[in-house]
Amino acid sequence: MESSRKQRWLQLQSAFEPGFKQMLLVSILLHLLLPVLYYAPFFPKRVFEKPPVYRVNLVNKIVKNPQAGRPEAAPVKKKPAVKPKVKPKPKPKVKPKPAVKPKPIPPKPKPVPVKPKPKPKTVKPEPVPTPAPTKKKPQPAPKPAVSKAQEDNLALRLKKMRAAQEKKASEQARKDRIAALKADALAESSKVRSPIADAPVGMADGTGNEAGVSAFAFVREFIQQQWSFSKYQAAGNPEAEMQLFYNAAGTLLHYKFVKKSGNSAFDESLTRAIVKSKQLPQELPEAMPFEIVFNLKDMLAKP
């Protein structure tokens, strides 16, 4: 049995080339060396970090130094921990207040009985004119002559008042509707969750520390939306540069062309866009000048 094994081993040895064992040994050693080198401190290791996730929400308020990140994240996690400490304090303070409030109420009824006294006085003169109608009977005749114009005037005024009231009501209804829509939008946006839970609030290119969007991004987006220009008007790729100056209230104070494109249709479309953008829908953090370059690169890139 042993002799047969020896014979097989000898056969194997004869099949290998000379020096095979050494080569095998070197190969094993090299393989062992690889993990050693990998874990050795000579080679720097790449740390795989979570990729940053950015979402730009231009509905957010405009801030001076927007931070990077997504808009719906809640970076103010520590603040709620502080708030509960403060809250219990005001609570006991509120309790005694209602105790105080009932006190001033009793004195109020006192003046109430006083008030009815003058009221009958005012009521008294009313019955006086009622017997008078017998004396004023001849008066109705002149009334219609005068009241025609007066009635018309009154009717007109009433109409105007009603119209104003209706307008006010519709305005209020519109405001309520907008407020409801805003609340819905806020609730909807709060439902959006980023794949990375701890991503901060802000802009893709934000470097500051305030939650919101930059004025530049907002102004860029707003003016772009006001700009209408057809690709069938385009000849070549015109480019124009304008200078705009907005005050902190978002009102355009002045604008001028730094460089015109030479294409009158293009330049006129820019003037229209700027005139439409003379009032921004949001305030700016401060009065700001902008230099805007208009061209059609993106539009012409599309087939």
Partner 1 sequence: MKHFKIYVLNIIFACLLCSSAVAARIEISAPGEQTIPLAMTRLLPMGVGAARSAVATEFQQVLQGDLELSGLFDLTDPASFLSDADKLGLRRNEIDFYQWRMLGAEALFKGGYSVTAGKLTMELRLFDVITQRLLTGRNYRGKVTDVRKIAHTFADQVLKSLTGEEGPFSTKIAYISKRTGHKELYLMDVDGYKPMRMTSHRSIVLNPDFSPTRKELIFTSYNKGNPDLYRKEIYTGRESRLSLKPGLNIGGRYSPDGREIALTLSKDKNAEIYLLGTDGTIHRRLTNHYSIDVDPTWSPKGNKIAFVSDRRGNPNIFIVDIHTLEVTRLTFEGKYNATPAWSPKGDRIAYSRMDNGVFNVFTIREDGTDERQLTFGKGSKEHPRWSPDGRFLIYSNDLNGGAKSIWIMRADGTGGRKISAPGGNDSHPAWSHRW
- Which residues have C-beta within 8 Å of that of residue 243, sequence separation ≥ 6? 255, 256, 257, 258, 289, 290, 291, 292
Cα separation, 213 vs 206, whole angstroms:
8
Q: What SS3 state is found at 26?
A: helix
Which of 257, 229, 246 has the alpha carbon at shortest distance from 283?
A: 246
Q: Which is nearer to partner 1, 73 or 266 (CB)?
A: 266
Should residue 261 be labelled a site residue for partner 1 when binding is judged by CB under 8 A? Answer: no
DSSP string, 141-192: THHHHHHHHHHHHHHHHHHHHHHHHHHHHHHHHHHHHHHHHHHHHHHHHHH-
Print the binding letters for residues 187-226 with partner 1: x by CB under 8 A, - otherwise: ----------------------------xx--xx--xxxx
Write down the least CB distance from residue 20 to partner 1, Å: 59
Write down the least CB distance from residue 284 to partner 1, Å: 11
Print the binding letters for residues 57-96 with partner 1: x by CB under 8 A, - otherwise: ----------------------------------------
- Which residues have C-beta within 8 Å of that of residue 73, sequence separation ≥ 6? 194, 197, 198, 199, 200, 201
Instruction: Kindly indicate which of the ranges 33-41, 148-156, 186-194, 232-240 contains the residues binding partner 1, using the contact rule CB under 8 A.
Output: 232-240
| Region of 252 on the Ramachandran plot (φ > 0 left; ψ -120 to 50 alpha; else beta) | beta
Instruction: Kindly indicate which of the ranges 1-9, 41-49, 120-128, 264-272 contains the residues binding partner 1, using the contact rule CB under 8 A.
Output: 264-272
Write down the least CB distance from residue 204 to partner 1, Å: 15
Write down the least CB distance from residue 298 to partner 1, Å: 4
Write down the least CB distance from residue 158 to partner 1, Å: 23
Instruction: Kindly indicate which of the ranges 25-33, 172-180, 189-197, 260-268 contains the residues binding partner 1, using the contact rule CB under 8 A.
Output: 260-268
Should residue 290 be labelled a site residue for partner 1 when binding is judged by CB under 8 A? Answer: yes
Instruction: Give the largest CA-CA distance in the chain.
Output: 155
Should residue 298 be labelled a site residue for partner 1 when binding is judged by CB under 8 A? Answer: yes
CA 121, chain centre distance (Å): 59
**Chosen residue from 53, 54, 272, 282 binding partner 1 by CB under 8 A:** 272
Pairing assessment for the beta strands 213-214 and 62-63 based on DSSP bridges: parallel
Q: Which residues bind partner 1 (CB under 8 A)?
A: 215-216, 219-220, 223-233, 235, 243, 263-265, 268-269, 271-273, 275-276, 287-299, 303
